[in-house]
A = this chain, B = another copy of it.
Amino acid sequence: MDKNSTDIQELLPAYLGIPTFMRCPVTRDVSQADVVVMGIPFDSGATSYRNGARFGPRKIREASLLMWGYNRHFDVSPLEHLNVIDFGDIDVDPTNIDTTLGLIATEVDRAISAGATVIALGGDHSITLPILRSYAAKKGPLALVHIDAHLDTEHGSIEHGTPFRHAAREGLLNTNAWIQIGIRGPGTHPQEINEAKELGAEVLEIDECFEIGIPAVIRRIHERIGDGQVYVSLDIDAVDPAFAPGTGTPEVGGFSSHQILQLVRGLRGLDVAGFDLVEVNPPYDSSDITSILAANIIFEYLSLLAVKQTSR
């Protein structure tokens, strides 16, 4: 597929024009889309510290205008190979997480039923649960690459610290192909990591990541995930606050921007069925560097999909 129609837009300066994601068309018509980028500006699941991730999708779109179209790591211009639409934002209800999760699931269902790959822009991490529900309903339990400072397998009702416990308990995950990467920080109680492992996760703490290096981490991911369909959920707080200050629960001692890009590029070859990027919190950002990093990560997501498409 040739998509030269986007050529001119890519060359516009980033300060100019209405900020849709990478200047893709805004539409709710998912029928022709290869990829549906959808904003989910819900942050009432941010129970631990700072909210404000409701402004994440808008700012990531704005930063995406810096994504001129060519990815030299994969020698691909993703928008030339993929029909990407900006779905806009899903309407959410800040006062009611249950209502909101239902609204999310409905829209994700529509997109994946139409055969598209979803890239969700959070919002806080609670939004991943309804996405996983929709995917599992359509495709069965998925493998999971979860990149984050926090396990998010806490006990309790649905909020941004618990989605993966719920997902595992609800049978949405292929827990034999589940890996968590970048975990660190003061924990709530000693059993946390063991509990995540009991749920099925392989846990790669940040110290191990630093010791073995990103290429080895990538190998561990591929070994763990294998050939099945996989969902990728990336909490921007996996990255160190120096590189990503705009987040809700900053955790020092994390990945650099270079490392996170390496890591995401290393997902090449996995059969990724869907992606999210959550917890970008613009009111706490500094000069938009977190949103710009986030847009770069989404650009790598798109590139992974373009490479997958072109290598078929």
Contact = CB atoms under 8 A, between A and B. Distances in A.
Contacts of A26: 18
Given A70-B186, A88-B17, A287-B250, A257 B241 contact: yes
A67 to B, nearest CB: 5
Contacts of A73: 207
Given A68-B186, A70-B188, A284-B283, A89 B17 contact: yes
A210 B258 contact: yes
A199 interface: no
Interface in A71-88: 71-73, 75, 77, 86, 88
Can you tell how many copies of this chain the complex includes? 6
Chain A interface residue number, banded: 35 or more
Interface in A232-256: 240-243, 245-246, 249-250, 252-254, 256
Interface stretch (A52-60, A107-115, A138-146, A165-173): A52-60
Given A69-B188, A292-B252, A50 B283 contact: yes
Given A15-B58, A95-B157, A241-B293, 9 more contacts: A13-B47, A13-B48, A75-B190, A77-B189, A94-B159, A210-B258, A245-B286, A253-B296, A286-B286
Interface of A: 10-20, 26, 39, 41, 43-52, 54-55, 58, 61-62, 66-73, 75, 77, 86, 88-89, 91-97, 126, 157-159, 185-190, 192-193, 205-207, 210, 240-243, 245-246, 249-250, 252-254, 256-258, 261, 283-289, 292-293, 296, 299
